[in-house]
Amino acid sequence: MSHFTTVQTKIHDIVCLKLALKDLGFQFTEATAEAKCYVRGYQRQKTEADMVIHASKTYDVGVKVGAKGVQFVSDWWGVEATRGLTEKEFVQQVTQRYSYHKVKQELQKKGFTLALEETKEDKSIHIKVRRF
């Protein structure tokens, strides 16, 4: 019996996702043509993914890239038990950091520069930009 559950996201930019994961201290491995990636779950069960985020020594979060965006697949019970991070917390943290990098990327494309960045107590991020 599989314990893997999939969560659909609105994440589409893999570069920004990688930056977000690095910010949060997650190490990850990407599949290549020569080497597939497998997500580890309960009782050594595995499922294939495009990228594997190493959540703990025994449990991973997989990233599957599709037309509708990125899906996270994991044995969320195992991630919570070994890392202390729930599915909801993981998705929120990654989505916030992803959004931060995506906004910065888009602003830079439009000629804006970052003037001020502030993280509030509630963990919201406020940025001020300018364009000359």
Please tell me the distance from the alpha carbon of residue 38 to that of residue 50, in angstroms, as a whole number.
8
Please tell me the distance from the alpha carbon of residue 5 to that of residue 75, in angstroms, as a whole number.
6
pLDDT digits (tens, 9 = 90+) for 67-94: 999 999 999 999 999 999 999 999 999 9
Count of domains observed in the chain:
1
The pLDDT score that the predictor gives to residue 124 is 85
| 64-71 own/partner pairs: CB under 8 Å, 24+ apart | 64/6, 65/14, 68/8, 69/8, 69/9, 69/10, 69/11, 69/12, 70/9, 70/11, 70/12, 70/14, 70/17, 71/6, 71/7, 71/8, 71/9
Domain containing 40: what range?
Answer: 5-130
Q: Beta partners for 18? A: none
Q: Are 39 and 72 in contact (CB under 8 A)?
A: no
Better-predicted residue by pLDDT, 131 or 107 = 107
pLDDT digits (tens, 9 = 90+) for 7-47: 999 999 999 999 999 999 999 999 998 999 999 999 989 99
Nearest to 51 by CA among 98, 100, 15: 15
The pLDDT score that the predictor gives to residue 2 is 58
Q: Read off the pTM.
A: 0.89
**Is 1's pLDDT higher than 80?**
no
Q: Phi and psi of 33, rounded to 5°?
A: -65, -30
The pLDDT score that the predictor gives to residue 125 is 87
